[in-house]
Amino acid sequence: AEAREELAGFDAAVKRIPEGEWWLGNQPAVEIMPLARLVLEGEIEFKAGNRDRGLELLAQAVAIEERLVYAEPAPWMMPARHAYGALLIVDGRYQDAERVYLRDLEIFPANGWALLGLRDALRGQGRTDESIRIDEAFRKAWASADVLPPASCYCGTPVASAD
């Protein structure tokens, strides 16, 4: 209930954004907010037990993200693919998660978050040798980090310890 109240608060805040006046990167903020809402609602639905609906919403968020105009910094800093992949793993859909992370790595090679998700997707499929190779790349990407994340999104859970 609290999460849905916060989502309603988000919706109210979005309505107050002056169209064409606030920008995220090189895109109007009002064009990014539907993506943000889909990620929020997708995670809420998934965690509320409506897993298929949550994953459907996250897939829609990924589709919107694919159409964003490239910019640095990115107009939306939390990749929808990472949440989508992490929750696919939680749902046991390891092959689907693998495809999500491979796509992310096509766009952002050596992305540590995507490597972590790919490693866990491979582990979930019992593809140990491949997951070991990806784990090495993941650890290289995160070599300077103080803490290793547990999953590609904090909304997910690790398949196996990342210690």
pLDDT, tens digit, 9 for 90 and up, residues 24-60:
888 899 889 999 999 999 999 999 999 999 999 999 9
Per-chain mean pLDDT for the chain: 93
Interatomic CA distance for residues 19 and 15, integer angstroms: 9
Residue 67 burial (10 A CB sphere; 0-12, 13-18, 19+): exposed
Q: Please tell me whether the overall predicted TM-score, pTM, comes out greater than 0.75 for this model.
A: yes
- Measured in degrees and rounded to the nearest 5, phi and psi for residue 154 equal -70, -5
Q: Where are the chain's structural domains? A: 1-78, 79-163
Percent of the chain with pLDDT over 90: 79
Q: For 79-163, CATH number?
A: 1.25.40.10
